[in-house]
């Protein structure tokens, strides 16, 4: 029989071979991101440190075993004479076959199939796993219904339709985990901040005893082929006790983090964004008296369905035969927009270096053919390239019209990487709209009236919102990519704007009611 280390060497070779059989896009759809062996070993050692004083034997389960990275780490860490049963489940037949051929001599039983369709069998007291990171749009509505029923049966909780497959895996595995058993899940850290993660957080604070949540530094991507920051979630299957707390850590390694502190479960239940806690604020950020959403409605910019076709340089409109009546000005993406204050020309177009036009027409195809033959040629070329049959365009009538977004006086970039200033505010004095790489801020009621005289001061107040406030409400992905959704931007503190807008206390009450 080969040694564990010899088998691990063979596993790594098989992993490399199998990864090359699929494109990055295919592996993304399957949610296949192999766990680095050093990380698997780190997690297994951590699990052993929590279980070494327990009596009895261990039953190991990995519901997404792949080629067996976690089993290899488990066998290197847990004594062989204390292992009673080991099971790995794997949907991909090639990976399952490889895992079985390598690890069967060392006691791993590999089941080829979908974990969520397996008949419940033995109880396991050690779960170490990196479940598939399959985004919700790759899960059919039928599967969402089936998976939702399974999670409800296992936990009494219902997941949002926006949840990724890893969320379903965690809740379904509740039935497979023995009472007092230990589970360690390597999952995307986004569950800590997004709305669909609320159900996962309820599970972790109400149905099990949460032990430790470790969030890796976003700039330290754990998987070479996944732009997602990762977290290790450790819990035991037992009801939480009164006054219980959990360790939250950030950066460094699981056993040796850069930051670490205890957080009471009661605080966790009241904290919407757990990543805020990971930055050292154990009680979460104090809710401001006034937030941006009280003063502005925030909407995402236009999703055209095909920017390359619908957004064209203004200077080329005549050459391409596209009439001015069928376009509107649109701002370029943030990387091509150096200006932060957008002035306008006599026609309302932005005075910027890269002036762009958005094709937006509501006339019928017959009317366009009669009025503008060259414009019709352009649309026909788009149809030959199947622009009209895209997901968004096929749902519009006509397909070359756009959703309506009035010009917004202020815009905020939707994503950024800089720790100094990840998001930019733009003061838009033109009639240009913007694509969905921007968030558009529309003043509410009384604010709109005040804005005409105080726009410059409001813009400076927006620009002075601290990066920490953005970090507290936004989310972060692998490689340090920060993102901000409309609802998150609306939660940013805006107390300073009240004085600028001269909203008196009695008028504030009337305004916010």
pLDDT for position 417:
75
pLDDT for position 471:
78
Spatial separation of the C-alpha atoms in residues 268 and 436, rounded to whole Å: 33
- Where is pLDDT greater, at 271 or 45? 45
Are the C-beta atoms of residues 94 and 114 closer than 8 Å to each other? no
Rounded to the nearest integer, the mean pLDDT of the chain is 88
pLDDT in tens, 332-377: 999 999 999 999 999 999 999 889 999 999 999 999 999 999 999 9
Domains of the chain: residue spans and CATH: 4-278 (3.40.50.150), 292-512 (3.90.220.20)
Spatial separation of the C-alpha atoms in residues 441 and 366, rounded to whole Å: 37
pLDDT for position 58:
97
pLDDT for position 394:
94
Tokens 């261990």 belong to which residue?
58
Confidence of residue 483 (pLDDT cuts 50, 70, 90): confident
Window from 227-241, 266-280, 455-469 with minimum mean pLDDT: 266-280
Tokens 């009240």 belong to which residue?
498
Nearest Cα residue to 496 out of 296, 293, 287, 289: 289
pLDDT in tens, 365-424: 999 999 999 999 999 999 999 999 999 999 999 999 999 889 999 999 988 876 677 899
Residues in the chain: 513
Are the C-beta atoms of residues 203 and 269 closer than 8 Å to each other? no
pLDDT in tens, 460-479: 999 988 887 887 777 776 66
pLDDT for position 508:
47
Backbone angles phi, psi at 215, to 5 degrees: -110, 125
In the predicted model, is pLDDT for residue 509 greater than 60?
no
pLDDT in tens, 75-115: 999 999 999 999 999 999 999 999 999 999 999 999 999 99
- Strands, E assignment, 115-169: 124-129
Buried b (16+ CB within 10 A) or exposed e, 229-268: bbbbbbbbbeebeeebbbebbbbeebeebeeeeebebebb
In the predicted model, is pLDDT for residue 187 greater than 80?
yes
Confidence of residue 24 (pLDDT cuts 50, 70, 90): low
């Amino acid at each position: 029989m080969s040694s564990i280390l010899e088998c691990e060497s063979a596993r790594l070779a098989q992993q490399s071979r199998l990864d090359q059989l699929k494109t990055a896009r295919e592996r993304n759809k399957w949610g296949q991101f192999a766990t680095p062996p050093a990380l698997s070993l780190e997690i297994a050692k951590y699990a052993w440190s929590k279980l070494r004083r327990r009596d009895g034997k261990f039953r190991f389960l990995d519901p997404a075993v792949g080629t067996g990275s976690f089993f290899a780490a488990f066998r290197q860490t847990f004594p062989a004479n204390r292992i009673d049963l080991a099971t790995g489940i794997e949907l991909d037949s090639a990976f399952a076959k490889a895992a079985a051929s390598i690890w069967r001599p060392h006691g791993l039983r590999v089941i080829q199939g979908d974990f969520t369709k397996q008949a419940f069998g033995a109880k396991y007291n050690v779960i170490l796993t990196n479940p598939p990171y399959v985004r919700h749009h790759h899960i059919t509505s039928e599967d969402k219904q089936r998976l939702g029923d399974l999670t409800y049966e296992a936990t009494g909780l219902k997941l949002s339709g926006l949840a990724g497959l890893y969320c379903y895996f965690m809740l379904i595995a509740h039935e497979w985990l023995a009472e007092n058993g230990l589970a360690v899940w390597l999952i995307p850290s986004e569950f800590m901040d997004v709305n669909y993660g609320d159900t996962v957080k309820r599970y972790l604070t109400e149905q099990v005893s949460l032990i430790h949540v470790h969030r890796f530094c976003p700039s330290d991507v754990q998987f070479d082929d996944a732009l997602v920051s990762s977290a290790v979630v450790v819990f035991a299957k037992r009801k939480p006790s009164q006054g219980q707390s959990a360790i939250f850590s950030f950066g460094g390694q699981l056993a040796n983090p850069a930051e670490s502190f205890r957080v009471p479960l009661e605080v966790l239940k009241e904290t919407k964004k757990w990543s805020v806690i990971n930055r050292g604020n154990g009680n979460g950020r104090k809710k401001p008296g006034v937030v941006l959403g009280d003063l502005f409605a925030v909407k995402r910019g236009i999703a055209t369905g095909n920017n390359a076709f619908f957004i064209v340089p203004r200077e080329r409109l005549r050459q391409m035969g596209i009439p001015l009546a069928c376009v509107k000005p649109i701002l370029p993406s943030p990387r091509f927009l150096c200006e932060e204050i957008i002035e306008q020309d006599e026609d309302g177009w932005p005075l910027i270096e890269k002036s762009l036009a958005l094709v937006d027409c509501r006339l019928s195809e017959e009317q366009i053919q009669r009025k503008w033959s060259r414009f019709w040629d352009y649309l026909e070329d788009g149809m030959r390239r199947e622009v009209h049959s895209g997901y968004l365009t096929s749902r519009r009538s006509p397909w070359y019209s756009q959703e309506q977004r009035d010009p917004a006086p202020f815009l905020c970039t939707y994503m950024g990487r800089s720790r100094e200033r990840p998001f930019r505010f733009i003061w838009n004095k033109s009639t240009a709209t913007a694509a969905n790489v921007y968030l558009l801020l529309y003043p509410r009621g009384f604010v709109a009236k005040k804005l005409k005289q105080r726009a410059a001061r409001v813009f400076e107040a927006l620009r002075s919102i601290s990066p920490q406030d953005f970090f507290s409400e936004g989310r972060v992905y692998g490689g340090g990519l920060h993102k901000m959704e409309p609802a998150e931007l609306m939660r940013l503190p805006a107390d300073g704007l009240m004085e600028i807008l001269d909203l008196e206390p009695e008028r504030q009450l009337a305004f916010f009611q």
